[in-house]
Amino acid sequence: MHTTHSDGVLSVPALVALLGEHGVSAAVLTDHDTTKGSDEFREQVALLPQSFETFTGVEMSVGHHDKERHILAYFWQPKRESPAWQAFSDALQAARRRRREHLPRYLKLLNDLGMPLEQAEVLQFASEETVGRPHIARAMIARGYVTSVNDAFDRFLGTGKPAFILREYASAEEMIRLATAAGAVTSLAHPWSSKVLREELEQLVSYGLAAVEAHHPSHDPGTVMDYLRHAHDLRLLVTGGSDFHGGTVDGRGTVQEGAPRPGSCGLQRNDYERLRNELQRRAAVA
């Protein structure tokens, strides 16, 4: 799930309130390239009437063979004083810095396409932490250039579209190794939308990838089965989640009919317990 610390629409307290309403009992924040909200999230869910379990999480944008991939890192409790956590945390900070450095390049492309935008117009939708294409999309909506975030991706910002940039990323190998050394279980996020097939999955596993996100709102039942089979064959853990960004189409808080709800896509208890056990085991040796 994502909050205003990255490209979600809801703040941490607003998201937690929604989780409370939906009776969710376990969930993890996985903002893009930051763990900023995780402590506040832990504090807030502890106040919910239902019992609630959470980990620390982050969704990292990484590069692999000139393609962008998203890798989730889950921690039972990060050991913030450890050199391994520091190294991992520094790498995330570098990723956030690169995001900011790329913003003028997107704006140049959009300007050339006849859609001028000032940096400040984009940054008003972003937190101090991370800026990304969804924030650019929201600024484009505000100017009337596009009708929705999806429209902005479909016509301009999505892979291969006129304002798409293959940004510089840390490699998948580097980020998987850094996260694992700091005690994480890493999982390949939404593998189907990234079109990741067996061979690439095997490569990522050779770097230390420990899980695959078999359950995701973009996966139909056959796709889930395919990734469960890969997980079984490659001895991977299974993860899953709603990838909830606030359930809105326009980035302004209008709830989208049929959008994934928090808690709408999750793990079976045995997969969840295997994940939790492994997180605890890794925390003990990190």
Residues that bind ligand AMP (CB under 6 A): 7, 32, 61, 132-134, 149-150, 153, 158, 245
Could you tell me which of 66, 64, 69 has the C-alpha nearest to residue 32?
A: 69
Name the nearest CA neighbour of 267 among 221, 216, 225: 216
Dihedral of the CA atoms 100, 16, 189, 107 (nearest 10)? -20
* 256 close to 248: Cβ distance less than 8 angstroms: yes
Strand 185-188 relative to strand 67-75, pairing: antiparallel
113: left (phi over 0), alpha (psi -120 to 50) or beta: alpha
Q: Return the number of the residue (11 or 77) whose C-beta is nearest ligand AMP.
A: 11
DSSP state of 279: H
Query: Whose CB is nearest to ligand AMP?
Result: 132
Residue 216 touches Zn ion, criterion: CB under 5 A: no
Minimum CB separation of residue 138 from ligand AMP in Å reads: 10
Q: How far is the CB of 59 from ligand AMP (least distance, A)?
A: 7
Q: Of ligand AMP, Zn ion, none, which one does residue 247 interact with (CB within 5 to 8 Å by kind)? A: none
Binding to Zn ion (CB under 5 A) within 161-200 occurs at 189
> According to the binding rule CB under 5 A, does residue 96 interact with Zn ion?
no
| Identified binder of Zn ion from the candidate list 70, 99, 135, 230, rule CB under 5 A | 70
Q: Is 97 exposed, middle or buried (0-12, 13-18, 19+ CB in 10 A)?
A: exposed
What residues between 245 and 284 interact with Zn ion by CB under 5 A? none
- Segment lying near Zn ion (by CB under 5 A), choices 48-56, 65-73, 156-164, 254-262: 65-73
Q: Which partner, Zn ion, ligand AMP, none, binds residue 134 by CB below 5 to 8 Å per kind?
A: ligand AMP
